[in-house]
Structure 1
Amino acid sequence: MPDGRLIAGLRLAFTTFTILPLRAGRVDRPVAAVAMALAPMVGAALGIPLAALLIGTAAAGPALVAGALTVAAGALLTRGLHLDGLADTVDALGSYRSGPGALEIMKKPDVGPFGVAAIVLVLLIQAGALAALPDRPWPAVVAGVVAATAAGRLAVSWACRRGIPAARPEGLGALVAGTVNRPTLVVATAAVAAMAVPAVPGRPWQGPLAVVAAIAVELLVLRHVVRRLGGITGDVLGASVEITATLVYLGLVLTG
């Protein structure tokens, strides 16, 4: 891979998934392929300061407050785009429309009741799950937050795999759809699962299982979404991030 494409892809990955004000560079499908392949790495990098915030605030106050602050910081560091995508996607699915009708609902600036409910539930579940993590040794906390944050972006890589079309001829979905090959996905999934090994002390299998199970569930959701919409959009990618990260957090704490 030419160095120029790698650097441009890394820049695109960080500008897409974080608020880092990097200078816009080359943006085309080859660069998008690199960016979507590197998405889990960006998620892991984002998870480190979030884990530090969770540990620090939990030491100074109630764990639930620490969890809520960490969720808020995660939304701030991503401009809330993934939550917006979740709301738009759920509103479209809740309308029982398909194709252009559903896509038109996703383009509206307002948020419907389904979208509001989805955001509230996801934020509550994430905050509650994060509140349960500080009882563990700090390496486990870091591993859990990093793995969940990386897994959310891993879901984007899977959504951009070859064979999945874009729902629209323009937009982020059209740029990234079908750009990631399966060998890359296998390697990335194994890497994120490995990150989760220390997340549950005494149960090294639980973290990787949570990652793999979350991705499997998200793939089923994605299949339904693609059938309804005709492909992926930027909103669908945002929804994939939030759903998968939430499922990983649940997998880390429900039997932990």
Structure 2
Amino acid sequence: MSSILLALQFFTVIPVKKNLPMKSRSITGMYSIFPWIGAVIGAIACLVLYFEWSSLMTGFCIVLLGVVLSGGLHMDGFIDTSDAFFSYKDRLKRFEILEDPRVGAFGVMAVVFLVIGKVIIISEVLSTESFHWIFVLLIPFFSRATLGLLFSLTNTAKTSGLAYYFKEKMNANVVLIATACQFIIGLGVLGWMTNWMVAVTVAVALFAFICLFRSWVLKNFGGVTGDLLGASVEISEVVLWLTLLLLLS
């Protein structure tokens, strides 16, 4: 229960006004169940499918709910990551930019393209004949599973900050095994409710993304930070929606 409440407290806007124990077991559990936080967000986003709106309006609402329900946490990480990477500075300067609360021009441009692109891609998927509501539920699930896999497999870039604290406290092997099992469950549900070609394609796309993103993070930052992990959630969702668009069109 502490792990569930911690996950809601850190990764959603649900007000959990309680001092929770930040012990190894609780933090390990928090990251182990993190994909289900995405599933809850996806389930709430599914409600907009019942309204007879245009695909563009529905796509916008799905993106909006994802940002609002997560408190904009992952979007903020994407903005900071964009500012740091496109500054083309050395690694030390990039870390300074990541910690800077101000938003730079590169961050603004990147998030505008991200949001617009995400809305358009989702609306196009919604317009396909093979669209299934399970996509809306499972994509946030898979994106959080991606974060869990990346975090458990990659060292932190710094020896300070919240990501470093969580990494030191959690049992990375437990998180890795739990997340991998949930990832397989998600693929099983996806294949069962749509078709197995979709599930296999999603698995390949996510595996490729994890390998490439991890390589990019290690090359440019030397490890992960909270902002980089947040960016992985946003980027992996775009990759998944784009994969579905190419597959279903």
- Both structures adopt the same fold (TM-score exceeding 0.5): yes
Partner of 1:189: 183
Counterpart secondary structure, 2:101: coil
Cross-structure match for 2:12: 18
Q: 1:16 to 1:137 in 2, by over 3 A?
A: farther
Q: Does 1:174 align with 2:164?
A: yes
Q: CA contact under 8 A between 1:36 and 1:160: conserved in structure 2?
A: no
* CA 1:66–1:45: 2 relative to 1, 3 Å: same
Could you say if the C-alpha distance between residues 24 and 156 of structure 1 is closer, same or farther in structure 2, counting changes exceeding 3 Å?
farther
Give yes or no for the alignment of 1:124 onto 2:116: yes
Query: For structure 2, which runs of at least 5 residues remain unmatched after alignment?
Result: none
Q: Structure 1 residues 148, 225: CA separation in 2 closer, same or farther (over 3 Å shift)? A: same
- Taking structure 1 as the reference length, the TM-score comes to 0.85
- Decide whether aligned partners of structure 1 residues 197 and 24 sit closer, same or farther in structure 2, where only a CA change above 3 A counts: farther
> What secondary structure, in the 3-state scheme, does the structure 1 residue paired with 2:152 have?
coil
Cα deviation for residue 80 of structure 1 reads 0.9
1:211 to partner: Cα distance: 4.2
| Unmatched segments (≥5 aa) in structure 1 | 1-6
Q: Match for 2:39: what amino acid? A: A
Q: Is contact 1:194-1:208 (8 Å) kept? A: no
TM-score normalised per structure 2: 0.87
Match for residue 98 of structure 2 among 79, 99, 106 = 106
Q: Deviations 1:155-201 (Å, cap 9, x if unpaired)?
A: 11012114x222233322112337432433421221222233256x5
Provide the C-alpha distance between the structure 1 equivalents of 2:192 and 2:125, rounded to a whole number of angstroms. Answer: 12
Residue 21 of structure 1 and its aligned partner are, at CA, apart by: 1.0
Counterparts of 2:19 and 2:188 in 1: how far apart (Å)? 32
Q: Deviations over 1:124-146 (max 9, x none)?
A: 222123213444689x5321011
Alpha-carbon contact 1:40-1:151 (below 8 Å) kept: yes
- Of 29, 32, 38, 1:34 maps to 29
* Alpha-carbon distance, 1:101 to partner: 1.6
Residue 169 of structure 1 aligns to a residue whose secondary structure is coil
Deviates more, 1:213-222 or 1:177-186: 177-186
The 8 Å contact of residues 145 and 183 in structure 2, kept in 1 or not, is answered as yes
- Root mean square deviation of aligned Cα: 2.3
Q: Which runs of 4+ in 1 moved over 6 A?
A: none
Return the letter of the residue paired with 1:94: F
Residue 196 of structure 1 contacts residue 208 of structure 1 at CA under 8 Å; is this kept in 2? no
Q: Cα gap change, 1:141/1:133 in structure 2, threshold over 3 Å: closer, same or farther?
A: farther
CA–CA distance in structure 2, aligned partners of residues 208 and 19 of structure 1? 33
Q: What are the equivalent positions in structure 2 for 1:59-208 lying under 5 Å apart?
A: 59=52, 61-135=53-127, 141-162=132-153, 164-177=154-167, 179=170, 180-181=172-173, 182-197=176-191, 201=194, 203-208=195-200
CA distance in 1, matches of 2:200, 2:117: 20
Residue pair 1:99, 1:229 contacting (<8 A) in 2 also: yes
Aligned letter for 1:220? Answer: L
